[in-house]
Amino acid sequence: MDKDHRSYTYSLAKRYQARENLRCLKLMSYLVATVVATIVVNGILTSIVKNNYVSANGGFVLMAISEALLNLNALWITLVTIMSMPAWRSAFLQSVPLLKKLGSIKKPNKIHDKKKQETDQYFEQLKKSW
């Protein structure tokens, strides 16, 4: 596509906002997948009990698991949210003693450094424009 036919202008602010929007959409897709998985698992457990595929005691245990999954749904959503954000993930992994080993295994991330530089550049330009 020829540059003369473009009707938009490039700005660092638009690029930053688009990147943030994509990050939010990625987080929302994780959250929706978590809720859908919880509903599907509960549906399967309920159908197993309702169709008498297990004994009465087994049905009691499956329904207890189903209720626990439903009542702990906020826990799954919180964990997915924390693990989706790099800064939150590293803080969480460092704060839980059993997970400190996972947090200490860190690979060099050039993409993260580049994003940080772009974000810093954006806010510097914003500060100068005020």
Full residue range of the structural domain in which residue 61 is found: 10-129
1 domain-assigned:
no
4 domain-assigned:
no
Higher per-residue pLDDT: 113 or 93: 93
113 domain-assigned:
yes
Q: How many domains does the chain have?
A: 1
User: Which positions ≥6 away from 48 have C-beta within 8 Å?
Assistant: 54, 59, 62
Residues 4-37 have pLDDT tens digits of 666 667 677 787 888 889 989 999 999 999 999 9
Residue with the two structure tokens 């008498």: 52
Contact 80, 30 (CB under 8 A): yes
34 domain-assigned:
yes
How far is Cα 86 from Cα 127, in angstroms, rounded to an integer? Answer: 26
2 domain-assigned:
no
58 domain-assigned:
yes
Q: Specify the pLDDT at position 97.
A: 79
Residues 60-108 have pLDDT tens digits of 999 999 999 989 988 989 999 998 888 888 888 888 877 766 655 555 5
103 domain-assigned:
yes
Residue type, 114: K
Contact 54, 62 (CB under 8 A): yes
Q: Specify the pLDDT at position 109.
A: 56
